[in-house]
Chain A
C-alpha cells in the first residue's frame, strides 16, 4: 500500500491558450482507490487521459512503476480504462469484446475462454457472452466494459465517470460492486467523478480539483470534515460559508456575534472564512441560542428536514430530524468543534477558485 505506482511531475496541459492543468503534481500509491473529484472543466478527465496515454502533456513527466511513460502510446501502457459511455464494440458479441485485448496479447484459446468465463462471473453477467452490447442495459454494458478492462490484468484501472450515465439506484449498486471488485482484484483504481457522494463512498483517497489545481487531497473524512478552503467546503456536501473575524484563539465573530471555537494560531482580528455544516446547527429555544432567527422555508427530505433560517441578515441552511414550522422563532446553537475556520484565499488563483459554483 505504500509503494508509489504513478507519479505525475509538473504536468502542464493547455488547449488553444486555455490552461487545463497547471504544474500538477500527484503521486498515486499501489492498491489505492483514488478519486479525482471536481466540477466539469476542472482538469480531472485530462489528468486521467494523460495517465492513459490519450493526451500528451505540454510539459512534465508521467512516471509509471519507476519508468518514464510520458510519450508511450496507450497500447503500450500496462493500464486499462473504463470509459464514460462504455465504448463497447457494438459489432462484436460480449465475449468478443472481452477477448479483444487478450487476442492482441496472443493468449491461447483456452486461456481466453477461461478468462471470459471468469470475467463474466466477476461482473455477474454469466451467460451473456453471445449477446451484442445493444441488447444490454446501461448497467450491464458498464459491467462488460469493466470486465473487458480487467481481463488484461492491468496494474491500474482508470475509470472515467463510469457511472455517470446510470440512474440513481443502479449507480449505488454499482458503487458497491466496484468496491468489491477492487478488493477482489487488489489493483489500483483511479476514478474520476464530479459526484461527491460517489467519491466519499468509494475512495481511499480523494483529490479535489478545480481549474487545473489540486485543491485538497485526503481521506474522505478529512475532506468532508476539514475542508481546507471555501471551494472544497462548498463542493463537498452542503455548507454555510460565512465571512468571519478571528478575534483571538478559540473565538470567532460571525455576523456580529461571538462564537467559541477550537481553532488556534490565526492571530488576532484576522478575517477568515467560516464553514458550518447544516447538520451541525441545532435549533433550540430562542432564549438558549447564540443567535435568534425565523424559519422561512421547510422541505421534508426523507431522512431529515431541510430548513432555512433567517438570522442576522444571513440565510442559514439547517438539517435536522426535528421539524420547526415556517414562521417560528428559533435559537441557533453550534458546538465549538463544528465550526471550521479557514484562511481567506490570498493568491488570485485561489480567489477565482472560491467563487466557482
Chain B
C-alpha cells in the first residue's frame, strides 16, 4: 500500500451518530477510527460495569455498527479501530460480534486490554508504583478508598499487533487517542516502535492528533466558519498517510465544512501544552516542526513532525469520588434582568442556608451578562449603572430606578458541589418556588428539578511501562 487512508468518524462519546457511516460510505477509507473516551468517561463506565459485568463500554459504538453494516458489506476490506471498549472491551467485542451477526456479517475482532490498573492498585503500590499526582506529587494512596478507575494510556503497538494477526475490527480500552491512527499506519508500513522509526511515529501522531476530535479538523470550532461553511453537513476528517509519515488532511467530496491551514493549525494546537513535546506512549512528538500547505480545495498537506525522544512511562488517568453536584437554571426577563437574576441566585442559596444547608462550593452565573468567562469580558450592563441590589432598587415596577432593558433576558444558573448527597438533592428543589415567589419575569422552569450527579475528580499520574502488560486477543 502506497498511502493509507484513515478517517475518524467520532471525536467523543456523544458525537454525531450518522457521521461514521457517512464518512465510510464515500471516504474511500482503509481504516475507520472511532474515539469515545474523554478523560472522565472511564469513571462512569467503571460504575456501570460494577453493576453489570456485561456493560461498561461505549454503547453508541454498537448503534454505529448497525449503521455501518451496508458499507461494510460493500467495502469488505474496510477495517475499524476504536477505543469503544472503555472499561469492558471484551463485552464490547461480544456485543459487536452479535450486532454484526444480526446484519449477516462476520468480522475478525481483536481486543486490546491491559490498560485497566484498578484491580492491580495494591499490587502496584506494593511494588513501589505510587502513582503520584502529576501536578502536586501526592501519592495515590492518600485517596485509595475513593478511586473508581485507573487506566494506563496504551499506545499503537498492540493495535498494530492486532492488525498483524488479521483483525478487521480492533476494540481497545484506554489508548492514547492519536495511537488509534498510528497503529494502522505502523502496521501498513511496517514501522517499528524503536529509535529508528521515531520520526515516522511522530508524524503519524500528528496525523492522529489532527483527526482525533472529528470535525474539529474540518471546520468545527473554526473561528472563521460562517453560514457558507455548511457545518450542518460537515465532513469528517481523513488522514492519507505515506510510508515516510507525510500526509494530507481532507474530507469526503461534496460535504460541508472546510479543511484549510487555519482549521488544521487550530487543531494542531488544541489541548496541547508545550508544542515541542507532545507526549504519547509511542513517541514524544515535536509539533513545532510541522509544515502545513494548502494543496487544493479542502486538502492540506502536512510534512515534518519529528520525534523529541521516547519516554519509559505510560500516562495513567485515575478518577475518584469527590462528592455530588447539581446545576439548575431559570430564565429571567427584563427590565433589569441581570440584577434580578443575581438576586434570584442569592435567594436560592439564602433559603437553603436558612434550611440548614450551607454548601462547600456554590456558584451563581448570569448567562447573557458575560459570566461564562467570568470577569474577563466587558460587562453587558452599561458601566455607568450600578446594579448592586444592596444599594439600588431594581424592581420592574414603579419603584425601579436606573432601569435598563439590556440584555432583554438572561439565564440564571446556580450550581453547588458538596460531599453530602442529601444536601445537593435539597438544592434541586429550590428552583421551582421562584416561579411564584421570585421576581416578575421569572420563567423557564420546564424540565423539572435538575439532576444530581456524582463528581469524579481527575488524577493524572505516570507509571513505568515495564509495570504494564498490553494484551492482544483475537476472538
Check if A and B associate: no
